[in-house]
A and B are shown apart, each in its own frame.
Chain A
Amino acid sequence: MEVIKNYLESMFANLPNTPEILRAKQELFSMMEDKYTELISEGKTDNEAVGTVIAEFGNLDELSETLGIKNMMQAPVPSDRRNISHDEAFDFIRENEKHTFMVGLSVFLFITCCVGPIIGGLDVFGGSKASDMIGIVYLFTSIATGVGILIYSGSMMKKWDYIKDFPCFIDYATADAVYTADCDDRSTRALRLTIGIILCILCFVPAAVFGALSDNNFLTEGMGPVFLFVMLGIGVMLIIISGSRHDGCQKLLALNDRATVSGNYQGMGTPAPKFSDPTVDVVMSVYWPTITCLYLIWSFISFDWHITWIIWPIAGIIHGVVKRIYGTENR
């Protein structure tokens, strides 16, 4: 059955994405499915059934007149688009994941680099010059390693630039596999993101607890800040790598031309933009996380929890207004 679906999808891949054509595809698939099911129930093997169904499918040229796609039929398959094979697609996803992990790791190193001087400057080491120096050395080594990882990983990803720079496309079978891989990753992604955000929110807790419970300089001046930076580092890293697989998959699924039937493979992944203006769409995609950050920052700095909630109704109203003006749903 997969073969038949793939066959049909590849026949329709370059046709315009119109309701008539989608309906034709659906109807033809329904007929082929019925025929296949019947052949199988008559005791034919899978290969025989698929062979018969495809042999008796006919020719799309016959539909050109009824569907008003005469010109499309004569146009050769656009050869300026480069096909991304199944293996290539998954290499890309894997390397993109690795790259995102590297970025996450270097951000972790940047955030935690100051742990060196904090520990090095502690009284337990007698505040000696040597321990100070080790701390500083750690700081710069961290930064240097982070920068090194970024440069290395970035240049490793260079070879995939053609996916962005040239028009490429993926066939139905690949799109289907990529989409499945993306779905399988959904729970991992959600888990990483959740833990990451929780760590970021809670990172100040150890410092606060140590500060309240103990006069010990090692805990308040040393471990508190160390925990803060390490938790923040791990949290941010988790947030960065949570979308690693998803990003790669979405990039691949977005390759196909939306004007053709093949553009619908993307529909399996991303919904159509919610806002007509692309800039607004980008801004609005980070709207609620930004509001959340503003709320937390304002609240923690001022501790005016009784008043800071006002940010939510205001944000809600602004969101509604923007949606009204730029929204694509109610047009």
Chain B
Amino acid sequence: MAAISSDVIRGYNDTMILYLLLEDPSYGYEISKRIRTLSEEKYIIKETTLYSAFTRMEKNGYIESYFETAENGKRRTYYRITDAGRNYYREKCEEWNLTKDVVERFISENNLVPSKGE
């Protein structure tokens, strides 16, 4: 069964996180859970990947963090998207459309392309 290549998906972790933050601010575990459900369990983001994306994007000014205490009394770091983050998200979407457009031209559904010299 095919699995997602972490090299390929790496460039789009930011896009996924920013997409989830477009509507409402959120926190680490909720974001990872929504990525899992939205991808129908096809992609499970690692905690370390998620955290490094947060710190990187915060440094770049795409998101801001703040503390909030949850109903059960647990203090969590929430993240909200900034205007720079929205712009960056739009750029990433355009970039993906272009990438997808290019790569798809080379994807063959039926194995018609003969393999050379096996």
Q: Which residues of A contact B (CB under 8 A)?
A: 20, 24, 27-28, 30-35, 38, 56-60, 62-63, 65-67
Contact = CB atoms under 8 A, between A and B. Distances in A.
Contacts of A28: 47-48, 51
Contact of A63 (B28, B29, B51, B74): B51
B49 to A, nearest CB: 6
B37 interface: no
B48 A63 contact: yes
B55 interface: yes
B77 interface: yes
B48 A58 contact: yes
A59 B46 contact: yes
A58 B29 contact: no
Interface string B76-116: 11000000000000000000000000000000000000000
Contacts of A62: 46, 48-49, 52
Contacts of A30: 28-29, 74, 76-77
Contacts of B52: 62-63, 65-66
A35 B32 CA distance: 9
A137 to B, nearest CB: 69
B36 to A, nearest CB: 10
Contacts of A33: 74
B47 A32 contact: yes
Range of interface residues on chain B?
Answer: 20 to 34
B30 to A, nearest CB: 8
Nearest to A60: B48
Contacts of B77: 27, 30
B50 interface: yes
A27 B54 CA distance: 10
8 contacts: A27-B54, A31-B29, A31-B50, A35-B29, A56-B47, A57-B46, A66-B52, A67-B55
A31 B44 CA distance: 14
A67 B55 CA distance: 8
Q: Chain A contact residues: over half helix, strand or loop, or mixed?
A: helix
A62 B49 CA distance: 6
Given A59-B48, A62-B46, A62-B52, 9 more contacts: A20-B55, A27-B28, A34-B29, A56-B46, A58-B47, A62-B48, A63-B52, A66-B52, A67-B55
B65 to A, nearest CB: 9
A33 B74 CA distance: 10
B46 A66 contact: no
6 closest A-B pairs by beta carbon, nearest first, are A58-B46, A58-B48, A34-B29, A31-B28, A66-B55, A62-B48
A57 B29 CA distance: 12
B42 interface: no
A35 B30 CA distance: 9
A60 B46 CA distance: 10
A53 to B, nearest CB: 8
A60 B48 CA distance: 6
A60 to B, nearest CB: 6
A31 B78 CA distance: 12
Given A28-B51, A30-B77, A66-B52, A56 B44 contact: yes
Q: Which of B30, B32, B55, B74 has the most CB of A within 10 A?
A: B55
Contacts of A56: 44, 46-47
Contacts of A35: 29, 32, 47
A316 B29 CA distance: 52
A58 B49 contact: yes
Contact of A66 (B33, B47, B56, B74): B56
Contacts of A59: 46, 48
